[in-house]
Structure 1
Amino acid sequence: MKIKLFTIALFVVTVLVSCTDNDDKNSDYGRLSVNLTDAPFPHDLVAEANVTIFKIDARYKGEMDINSEVEDNSDASMTKEDKSSFVVLMEDEMEVNLLELTNGVTKNLVDLDVPVGIYDLVRVYVKGVNVVLTDGSTFDLKVPSGEQTGIKIFIKPGLVVEGGLSADLLLDFDVSKSFVAKGEGSTFENITGFNFKPVIKACNMSTAGTLSGKVTTLQEEVAVGLEGAQVAVFAADTLNTTTFTDADGKYMVMGLMAGSYDVEVELSTYQKESVTDIEIVAGNTTSQDFILVAGE
């Protein structure tokens, strides 16, 4: 009798566990995480590049076959009748100094459950944009429509959120292209202000990988990190992105689509170094170090 009761209890537990697992996989919601990073740029005169993000929403395209292609539709005003709608992801004010988000440092903006399906567009609403120079000078910048309609960032291919699973989206805010100095720009006296022309790239981290490493030179047979070296990443002879090494000579490029890349490293007074056919794997980090030799 005890054996029969134990068998029945075990069967019930097994059924409950199976149902729970099945419910997770078939859930109507999945987890969406959105992180912000910045492609660094070597501007010795700039101390801060600040923005206040106060809202983020995403265009929901519905529950599609994950193997089907998402249409490239630049019309962000589609309604529910068009089988699209916007899902609000965040409505809290968040002040960010973009210069702090370099070489792998990210700021989490969103982490919540959203309806399963495909999302192909994110709108980021910003205000309070300003640039602070290293001499303390501050320039307030006008936001061209970003405060009213949001900065539109297309996700190609669309980000798929599956039931009970997590999806990660990376927003790469290119400061060097977004904050354009007025005037000569080479000295404090020559900078008369900045134009704000936001350039942000969205990357699905489930289909992308990361490249990281260190740039050094040998001094008395000891490897010393080199700060400010430019690391240029090429795909099929076309420049994909650039970054710069930090004070320790380290660099990191996130959001590279899986595939083969060529990388060149340059720094004044040193000879250029390059490596070809570096393989980037989705969801993984590829390490590649460089040793620069002082030029003649």
Structure 2
Amino acid sequence: MKRKLNGFLAFAAALLLLATGCSDENDRMAGEGHLNVYLTDAPFPYDLVSEVNVTITKIDARLADEGDGMDEMEDSMEGTEESDPESDTPENQGGFITLMETETDLNLLTLTNGNLELLADIDIPAGAYDLVRVHVQGISVVLKDDGGTFDLKVPSGSQTGIKVFIEPSLVVAGGLSTDLLLDFDVSRSFVAKGGNTLESITGFNFKPVIKASNMSVAGTISGFVTELSDAEEAPVLEDVQISIIAPDGTVVTTTATNPEGAYAVMGLDAGTYTVLAELDGYEAAEASEVTVVAGNRTSVNFELVAIPAEN
């Protein structure tokens, strides 16, 4: 099988794959398509952390029709720290196609509110891809105000990579352009130990949460958050926690507003959501029945009411 790919880092994260191929419908699954891979992040709260660093060493993808039996093989390898990288691993047996294999250092907190990192730009065989593996090392969290740096252990080592399933599968086909976004949710992937203040934090547990979204069937929610005010120009609010909630009450992802009071959440499946805005010292605000349309951007703005100080 011919393998040719271009790579991108989609962390902290998100991953965008752009695929183009032949124009004849009968040849959609033949030949090669083109793939770009990007990274973005659902950010960690900024009040305590200045950097969340990760080094991406490799990204590979699996053709769906070659996935049978591969999961069992991978599972048997999980946690095998001393395995020989030149041994008969799944990628060496032809189940995976390498998208990038160049060490790339990233601060995931820079990949927020629509910012992406291109990790791969490559030609690959046409077909449906149902799994991406992200190989990482060099994980660290840097606290603000000289609060210290914590180096973290990568679960299962870096041998098998972090498995991210693509549902539905990403189809690289002739005449089409398809985007895949990998969203590395920092706020859920890095769990503080000890407490929620600079003085009490003793470290972090790294439990990677990465969501893969086929951008051809996904959309974006974005907007601005200001303080409700009689001023001619309402003050913008930074670090407002924005939560995207599914109809069943599940938190899909979170983000925070930037210094301009803006936020953006990419890679959302088409459907209806509730958007919640929260900031200490203000009443929480909620927008319900927010509709996301594939390939489109939905605008949701908030005006938060300050809570009067107690006498």
Q: Bin the TM-score by the shorter chain.
A: 0.7 to 0.9
| Aligned partner letter, 1:279 | T
Aligned partner of 1:173 in structure 2 is 184
Aligned partner of 2:289 in structure 1 is 277
Specify whether residues 208 and 157 from structure 1 end up closer, same or farther in structure 2 by C-alpha distance, changes over 3 A only.
Answer: same
Aligned partner of 1:3 in structure 2 is none
Contact 1:53 1:127 in 2 (8 A): yes
Larger CA deviation: 214-223 vs 103-112 = 214-223
Specify whether residues 186 and 56 from structure 1 end up closer, same or farther in structure 2 by C-alpha distance, changes over 3 A only.
Answer: same
Q: Whole-Å Cα distance in 1 between the matches of residues 128 and 48 of structure 2? A: 42
- Percent identity for Structure 1 against Structure 2: 56
| Aligned partner letter, 2:58 | K
Deviations 1:46-73 (A, max 9, x none): 111111001010111249xxxxxx99x9
Aligned partner of 1:53 in structure 2 is 56
TM-score relative to the length of structure 1 = 0.82
Q: Whole-Å Cα distance in 2 between the matches of residues 101 and 211 of structure 1? A: 16
Q: Whole-Å Cα distance in 1 between the matches of residues 126 and 190 of structure 2? A: 36
1:23 CA drift (Å)? 9.8
* Alignment map for 1:176-191 (pairs within 5 Å): 176-188=187-199, 190-191=200-201
Q: 5+ unaligned residues in a row in structure 2: which ranges?
A: 1-21, 76-88
1:111 CA drift (Å)? 1.7
Find the residue that maps to 2:178 and give its secondary structure.
Answer: strand
* Alignment map for 1:235-254 (pairs within 5 Å): 235-238=246-249, 239-254=251-266
| Aligned partner letter, 2:47 | D
Contact 1:25 1:164 in 2 (8 A): no
Contact 1:259 1:280 in 2 (8 A): yes
Which has the higher Rg, Structure 1 or Structure 2? 1
Aligned partner of 1:102 in structure 2 is 112
Deviations 1:70-95 (A, max 9, x none): 99x95464999xx9821111011100
* Alignment map for 1:1-296 (pairs within 5 Å): 22=24, 26=28, 28-62=31-65, 74-75=71-72, 77=74, 85-136=95-146, 137-188=148-199, 190-217=200-227, 218-238=229-249, 239-296=251-308
Find the residue that maps to 1:223 and give its secondary structure.
Answer: coil
Find the residue that maps to 2:132 and give its secondary structure.
Answer: strand
1:132 CA drift (Å)? 1.5
* Bigger RCO of structures 1 and 2 (CA < 8 A, at least 6 apart): 2
Deviations 1:245-286 (A, max 9, x none): 111110111111111122222222222222222111111111
Contact 2:281 2:306 in 1 (8 A): yes
Q: Whole-Å Cα distance in 1 between the matches of residues 176 and 72 of structure 2? A: 29
Find the residue that maps to 1:166 and give its secondary structure.
Answer: coil
Deviations 1:154-198 (A, max 9, x none): 11111111124332111111112222222224123x222222211
| Aligned partner letter, 1:54 | T
1:151 CA drift (Å)? 0.6
Q: Whole-Å Cα distance in 1 between the matches of residues 203 and 277 of structure 2? A: 31
Aligned partner of 2:83 in structure 1 is none
Q: Whole-Å Cα distance in 2 between the matches of residues 282 and 118 of structure 1? A: 19
Aligned partner of 2:12 in structure 1 is none
Q: Whole-Å Cα distance in 2 between the matches of residues 138 and 123 of structure 1? A: 27
Q: Whole-Å Cα distance in 2 between the matches of residues 153 and 113 of structure 1? A: 21
| Aligned partner letter, 1:266 | E
Q: Whole-Å Cα distance in 2 between the matches of residues 279 and 76 of structure 1? A: 40
| Aligned partner letter, 2:234 | A
TM-score relative to the length of structure 2 = 0.78
Find the residue that maps to 1:124 and give its secondary structure.
Answer: strand
Q: Whole-Å Cα distance in 1 between the matches of residues 123 and 73 of structure 2? A: 22
| Aligned partner letter, 1:141 | L
Q: Which has the higher strand share?
A: 1
Q: Whole-Å Cα distance in 2 between the matches of residues 121 and 235 of structure 1? A: 24
Contact 1:118 1:158 in 2 (8 A): yes
The alignment yields a C-alpha RMSD, in angstroms, of 2.8
Find the residue that maps to 2:179 and give its secondary structure.
Answer: strand
